[in-house]
Amino acid sequence: MLRDLLLGFIKIHVLHHASRQPIYGLWMMEELARHGYTISPGTLYPTLHSLERAGYLVSEKRVVEGHRRRYYTITPAGEAALAEARERLAELVAEVLEEQT
């Protein structure tokens, strides 16, 4: 159950960062690690692919310093999903933190 919850947070992170700039897998893994998430390529890449299949991300292949990378950018549908997630997240955080005080 905890894994499913964290995967939802990871998807929000991915959409957030893809809305700011094109992202690629290794960079995203490092960014998530900076926030305390330990995620394997076997979890991240299927997540990126599922977000792309759902129409929330679009990808393009680029060669950077001799390495082929797939860069992901948010789509209008991804922007809409991220906006809704932000609203729900803000409501949830307010409610959960209110109960602690």
Query: If pLDDT is split at 50, 70 and 90, which confidence band does 100 have?
Result: low
Q: How far apart are CA 99 and CA 76, in angstroms?
A: 35
Domains annotated for the chain, with CATH where assigned, are 2-100 (1.10.10.10)
Residue 101 predicted with pLDDT over 60: no
CA atoms within 13 A on the CB side of 54: 16
Q: What is the pLDDT of residue 2?
A: 82
**73-82 per-position pLDDT tens digit:** 999 999 999 9
**19-65 per-position pLDDT tens digit:** 999 999 999 999 999 999 999 999 999 999 999 999 999 999 999 88
Strands 67-74 and 57-64: antiparallel
Q: What is the pLDDT of residue 88?
A: 95
> 18: closest CA among 85, 89, 88, 90?
85
Q: What is the pLDDT of residue 5?
A: 85
Residue 73: other Cβ atoms inside 10 A: 15
